[in-house]
Structure 1
């Protein structure tokens, strides 16, 4: 794994994968996971390096199955004046298409925050989806722990339909695992 010379982020190569057998994982997940992408110890060390003091915790939700919903649901914000003229650090688990981040940054601008930064655990190397009016927001990745390949990952708090959050490592989902826990409507 190479360290990006222009920042503190660690870039995970596209072909980097650890065999599941090298780690202690719940037996029920074998067959659902393809491999471990980032071991727990490495994740913990990187989080310590990126730790920031945060004013308030606000959550968001924008995915069901592997599909992004059209709306961003912000959880925990009582009113739009709460963050006015405040410094805000956005702590995001993963940025893939970037649409959620762009929506959140636009919302914070509308709330008239003083300054905003982003701290991101995983930044996927994939095509980002932006409209021309969103170009201002493309480079808003201030602190990134890992650049990862464009693979569907779970574990260490990342879920797939409320499954796999309990894994201590960040793992790549197998197609069988995605199909097994797919939500049908």
Structure 2
């Protein structure tokens, strides 16, 4: 999660860096669907760590924007799991605090990858008119950010705070490797994987289109 345009006076956030030369956790240490045997190299971020970090991100949001209404813009499909978990954590904190955050959730959908390559042809469904976001605190849950930001800014949206789980100021900064799991896919496979993992060359060839 990161803030592309931070509010004046907002406290800085830190990401959790994962070094480029870190080999990841052995798959033998974790449970994962047997139908992906041989399709993964390692676990980059275990599910439990994801959930703990999401809890911290929710607390940061509460600290920064408690009592201010926000719009959560969930980018399907890869962002749906993080969006759901983050919203749940914020709701839990709001129910047990004097500070609350009124939230609405809006969904857009895009496809930006073919196999493991990002494509220039980005189709956004549900984003035809985002003018209602103008002037609001917007949290965007997505892994494909730059093109969406350019699109959102072309819609003259005001304050945009981007919430992205990987490669971010507040979430995790990971090596430049193709990762799957936690709703991130490779040609629609691996969304049912709880951990964030590195796909193997065997997996790429197996599910290549």
The answer to whether the superposition gives a TM-score over 0.5 is: yes
Aligned equivalent of 1:13, options 19, 22, 27: 19
Instruction: State the Cα distance separating 1:32 from its structure 2 match.
Output: 0.7
Q: Hey, which bits of structure 1, 4+ residues long, moved more than 6 A?
A: none
| Residue 103 (structure 1) aligned with residue 103 (structure 2) | no
Partner Cα separation in structure 1 for residue 127 and residue 204 of structure 2 = 32
Partner Cα separation in structure 2 for residue 80 and residue 157 of structure 1 = 24
Aligned equivalent of 1:57, options 83, 98, 107: 107
Q: TM-score when scaled to structure 2?
A: 0.67
| Residue 116 (structure 1) aligned with residue 154 (structure 2) | no
Query: Which structure carries more relative contact order (alpha carbon 8 Å, separation 6+)?
Result: 2
Give 1:133's aligned residue: none
Give 1:37's aligned residue: 44
- Residues 32 and 177, structure 1, Cα contact 8 Å, conserved in 2: yes
Over the residues paired in the alignment, what is the CA RMSD in angstroms?
Answer: 1.9
Per the alignment, in what secondary structure is the counterpart of residue 82 of structure 1? Answer: helix
Q: Give 1 or 2: higher helix fraction.
A: 2
Give 1:130's aligned residue: none
Q: Give 1 or 2: higher strand fraction.
A: 1
Structure 1: stretches of 5+ with no match in the other structure: 1-5, 95-99, 124-140
Q: TM-score when scaled to structure 1?
A: 0.75
Partner Cα separation in structure 2 for residue 11 and residue 63 of structure 1 = 24
Partner Cα separation in structure 1 for residue 36 and residue 159 of structure 2 = 42
Structure 2: stretches of 5+ with no match in the other structure: 1-11, 62-69, 73-103
